[in-house]
Structure 1
Amino acid sequence: MSEIELKFHIPATQYSKLHHAIQEQQPKLIQLAAYYYDTPSQALSKAQLSLRQRLENKVWTQTLKAPSSHHAKRIEIEETLDEKPNGIDLKRYVKNKQAQALLKPVLATKQPLILQFRTEVKRLNLQMNHGDSHIEIALDQGWLIAAHQKVKISEIEFELKKGQISDLIACLQPWVKQYHLYLDVQSKAARGYALLNTQPQAATYAQSFILNQTHSAELALKQMISSCLQHMLPNASAIARGNYQASHVHQLRVGIRRLRSALKSFADWTTHDLSLWQQQLKNLFQHLGSTRDYDAIVSDVLPALQHAGAPFDSLPEPKHKNHDLSQYFREPSSSLLWLDLLNFSQHASVTDSSQDLTHLAAKQIGKLQRKITAQSDNFMQLSTEQKHQLRKQVKQLRYSLEFTHSLFKPKHVKRYLKALKPLQEVLGEFNDLCVAEEHFKILAKKRREYWFAIGWIAAQQQQVLSRAHVALQHFSTHADAGL
């Protein structure tokens, strides 16, 4: 069994109004107490599993949850218990092959399962129909308790019990707009582990995926978007919560770049207009820019400057604050964008075997390649802006190939990337130097010692550009072999 649900955080300023709106519809009140178990080394958590026992009014259930390939869906194996449990009962899964497969790595450790944390929640439950679908709305208010710590739970969940995900999204969109709800894909279990370990949930990285050659071009594009959302949403949620690290910002930037590349490279694989999403993603990316740029300067450029003898050992903190970045991702516009992309990516597409997906992908890869290699001979004469545009084209080509690599022979992809990766890296290095140069020019207006950095960066830029020219010529020569 699996569940499809979308969970949203409720701003404190909106809770009373939302609570009143739910109460007016005469919801069912449910008292919930959930107990989460794991091994002492948290083997379940490391395997992205959660195992809980929950008391719902007077009924006990035991539930094993696991992720699926769908970011709004989780595998859920639930058992009703006859009486109050005395610890976890794994014997219930002896005849369940799916549960056995999920638990095998954990059971192999032969570690005991012990209570890790618990939740105490009052839930207002509504059942409603939207379109041809049945949807459950659950307003949760309570506490998450781990050891001697506890944090407040204030969230609303929309679960599709029967029907289409498009109906689920259409149902909840007005709630997002009216009460400024923001999407939070972190489960209660993940939040409990973060509290228990006193650290934010780790950033989520991109996962490779395989395209089916028999699928239609539009379905392939939707699979790309779905993959990007799997990468982006956990990081966007962490930023919205205000409980994030530089790695969350960086990975969300990477995810947005990947998605923008897919929408740009394969726009003609669908009749849907993708231009609005492109602009919205560009705006999000720009808001993340200053945070990532400062982190890159501190982690990469500053140590090199210090090694070169810079007369300073630190940089002033940027004027922007973390809560400003978080606030932007709490705006309804951000959640509505995620929902639009989710809805499109999960909408059924007809498989069209008459389309040659490999040919379509190779055609787009070749088009991007020609744009890049055409600039090989006059690279050093390009303006700084033109060099940055070239860098973006190289990134687009790299991500486009990552999306479609399964359509080509592995040895050809490996050879192609071997020539492309050094070019992307050196152009990225040049971009970081340009960003750092602008940053230090501002600082130098107030403190003269920062002029050292400007001179050092100028010298480094010339060296990097020479290497970039060589890398571009190398790629131009070897890319002709194609895929």
Structure 2
Amino acid sequence: MSKIELKFQIPKDQTELLIKALQRKNAQKMQLHTNYYDSDDFKLSQHAVSLRQRLQDQNCVQSLNIQTQNQSKHSEFNINFEQQTNPALNLQAYKYNKHIDKNIIKLLNSLQNNLRLQFEIQVERWVTISSFQNSKIQVQLDQGQISHNHQVKDLIEIKFQLQQGTIQDFISFIFPYIKRYHLCLNGYTKLQQCYLLAQGLTEYPTQNQSTLQLKHHDSKAVALKKMIQNCLEHLLPNSTAIASGYFNSQHVHQARVAIRRLRSAFSMFSNWSQHVDPIWTKQLAIIFRQLGTTRDLDVIAEEIVPKLLKAGAPELKLPLSTQQTSISLQQLFQSLDFNNLILSLFQFIHQPNIDSSEKNNQKISIKKIIQLHQHIQRDVQNLLEQDITTLHRIRKRLKRLRYSIDFISSLYKSSEVKRYLQTLKPAQDMLGQYNDLILAETFFRNNIKNDPNAWFALGWIAANQQHQLQQAAHYLQIFANIRPFWHSA
């Protein structure tokens, strides 16, 4: 059975208040002890599968959990062991289950002699089911610890699950909790936190974008929802890491990429649905700008300065990624505005589809992409004579084109799309590197009074800018003359 659910991080100073609020709603308290099994090289995890046994009230339930492409949904298959507290794993029960993919069955069979206890999670759980409007929603708060090979980590989270009713009721029910208890979305599962502990990592792993698979018979509305869902799967793990304070510059970079992809999706395909709120693009633009300053400093510190030092630059004064900057980024993704925006997008994704008619998405999707491609073709004429504003516009168009093609690439011949993108990428990269030099020039020019060594940096930047621009012009000209992939469709 598929479930719609959302999980949130809880500030430590709000935990007891939230537990008391659930107690007033007659929440039941229970002790749970969960064991997770996998091979020593974590083969199940690699296939987005988890196998666990959970002891609750002297009964044990074995669960096979299979993550779907939509990360807010999953399929779960349970086996009850009544009055058994430590039963052996039972994999045979899944063998003839028609609802489980045959490849998962094969995987389980291949690992049946290699599965070991890898993680233990012991929590005190508070659970209540609330009736809201015409819906029933389960609220579940877990507080406890996870352990792996004698390593221990504290765990606290709250999860909301729609058991019956509408997505509108679900979101309306959750929002007051976020506002009252300062909750922020959690893009990581308990099991992912276990793997973090096993690897001895303090920072969450960064999440890159995943491949999107559209179908030719998807309606326009369904296709747009899939695009937004794909972007959220990219954004939420990175925003979770930043909100928790355990992040690095790559989390910031990937969060910006995910937000730019969302903006591109709405810019190119918003007319595919009548339910797109124009305010979303404005909110995404604000968040993107707030992330921009930090990302610019990271680029200078991590990409430009190493090149300067290699070229013999003297010691340069740089503003480090200060604690104040880190705190402001945490607050950004902890904010009510950000979490409310994500809830709105989540509601958009899961609302029922009215238009289910089949369309030729291949033809529909390409119209604006062709227009964008043609704009870029005109832009690259006399590129070396263009001003910085025009160059920046070309760079933004290249990115929008790249992300838009990523969204719809599954509708076209993969080899032709790959050829097209392989020509687009160096043009985009070279123009991006030129933009980095422009950013660095502005930074060091503003820093001359505080650091005379900045003159060396400015000289090196000036010497490299023209070369970088010529390289960009070369690759853009190649791209402008390429035969587009849609001509072979």
TM-score (norm 2): 0.91
Partner Cα distance (2:114, 2:481) in 1? 59
What is the CA distance between 1:275 and its match in structure 2? 2.4
Give the SS at the match of 1:139. strand
Give the SS at the match of 1:342. helix
Once the two structures are superposed, residues 273-320 of structure 1 have per-residue CA deviations (whole angstroms, 9 ceiling, x without a partner) of 442111211222223223333332333222322222112378441334
Once the two structures are superposed, residues 182-225 of structure 1 have per-residue CA deviations (whole angstroms, 9 ceiling, x without a partner) of 11021111112212221134222212222222322222211111
The corresponding residue for 1:91 is 92
What is the CA distance between 1:110 and its match in structure 2? 6.4
1:138 to 137, 140, 143: 140
Alignment of 1:30-41 (within 5 A): 30-41=30-41
Partner Cα distance (2:39, 2:485) in 1? 52
The corresponding residue for 2:268 is 265
The corresponding residue for 2:48 is 48
- Aligned in 2, Cα 1:235/1:264: closer, same or farther, shift over 3 Å? same
- Aligned in 2, Cα 1:473/1:338: closer, same or farther, shift over 3 Å? same
The corresponding residue for 1:81 is 81
- Aligned in 2, Cα 1:46/1:442: closer, same or farther, shift over 3 Å? farther
C-alpha contact 2:412 2:486 (8 A) present in aligned 1 = no
- Aligned in 2, Cα 1:116/1:413: closer, same or farther, shift over 3 Å? closer
Partner Cα distance (1:2, 1:391) in 2? 41
- Aligned in 2, Cα 1:164/1:69: closer, same or farther, shift over 3 Å? farther
What is the CA distance between 1:365 and its match in structure 2? 0.9
Give the SS at the match of 1:53. strand
Does 1:248 find its partner at 2:251? yes
Partner Cα distance (1:430, 1:206) in 2? 24
C-alpha contact 1:416 1:478 (8 A) present in aligned 2 = yes
What is the CA distance between 1:358 and its match in structure 2? 2.4
The corresponding residue for 1:461 is 465
Partner Cα distance (1:378, 1:354) in 2? 44
Alignment of 1:27-176 (within 5 A): 27-82=27-82, 83-96=84-97, 98=100, 101-102=103-104, 104-105=106-107, 107-108=109-110, 112-176=114-178
Partner Cα distance (1:374, 1:481) in 2? 19
The corresponding residue for 1:372 is 376
Partner Cα distance (1:71, 1:115) in 2? 25
The corresponding residue for 2:213 is 210
C-alpha contact 1:267 1:274 (8 A) present in aligned 2 = no
C-alpha contact 1:3 1:76 (8 A) present in aligned 2 = no
Could you tell me which runs of 5 or more consecutive residues in structure 1 were left unpaired when the two chains were aligned.
none
Partner Cα distance (2:127, 2:68) in 1? 25
Q: Aligned Cα RMSD in Å?
A: 2.4
Once the two structures are superposed, residues 37-59 of structure 1 have per-residue CA deviations (whole angstroms, 9 ceiling, x without a partner) of 22222222333322221112222
1:348 to 352, 362, 367: 352
- Aligned in 2, Cα 1:20/1:254: closer, same or farther, shift over 3 Å? same
- Aligned in 2, Cα 1:479/1:100: closer, same or farther, shift over 3 Å? closer
Does 1:227 find its partner at 2:265? no
Give the SS at the match of 1:41. coil
Q: Which amino acid aligns with 2:89?
A: I
Say which is worse superposed, 42-51 or 155-164, in terms of deviation.
42-51
Partner Cα distance (1:355, 1:115) in 2? 49
Does 1:390 find its partner at 2:394? yes
Say which is worse superposed, 311-320 or 139-148, in terms of deviation.
311-320
Partner Cα distance (1:145, 1:184) in 2? 20
C-alpha contact 2:94 2:105 (8 A) present in aligned 1 = no
C-alpha contact 1:88 1:113 (8 A) present in aligned 2 = no
The corresponding residue for 1:474 is 478
Q: Which amino acid aligns with 2:326?
A: N
The corresponding residue for 1:5 is 5
Does 1:327 find its partner at 2:328? no
Say which is worse superposed, 320-329 or 463-472, in terms of deviation.
320-329
Once the two structures are superposed, residues 88-141 of structure 1 have per-residue CA deviations (whole angstroms, 9 ceiling, x without a partner) of 333333333527632634653566322222222222211122333321111222
- Aligned in 2, Cα 1:104/1:310: closer, same or farther, shift over 3 Å? farther
Q: Which amino acid aligns with 1:4?
A: I
Say which is worse superposed, 171-180 or 124-133, in terms of deviation.
124-133
C-alpha contact 1:216 1:351 (8 A) present in aligned 2 = yes
The corresponding residue for 2:303 is 300
Partner Cα distance (1:202, 1:188) in 2? 14
1:284 to 271, 275, 287: 287
Same amino acid, percent of matched pairs: 36
What is the CA distance between 1:411 and its match in structure 2? 4.5
What is the CA distance between 1:447 and its match in structure 2? 1.7
1:427 to 409, 424, 431: 431
Give the SS at the match of 1:266. helix
C-alpha contact 2:121 2:147 (8 A) present in aligned 1 = yes
TM-score (norm 1): 0.92
What is the CA distance between 1:157 and its match in structure 2? 1.0
Say which is worse superposed, 328-337 or 157-166, in terms of deviation.
157-166
What is the CA distance between 1:80 and its match in structure 2? 0.9
Does 1:360 find its partner at 2:361? no
Partner Cα distance (2:55, 2:485) in 1? 63
- Structure 1 runs of 4+ aligned residues shifted over 6 Å read none
Partner Cα distance (1:457, 1:135) in 2? 58
Q: Which amino acid aligns with 1:46?
A: Q
Q: Which amino acid aligns with 2:372?
A: L
C-alpha contact 1:9 1:156 (8 A) present in aligned 2 = yes
Partner Cα distance (1:481, 1:219) in 2? 24
Say which is worse superposed, 470-479 or 121-130, in terms of deviation.
470-479
Say which is worse superposed, 318-327 or 190-199, in terms of deviation.
318-327
Aligned length: 483
Give the SS at the match of 1:478. coil
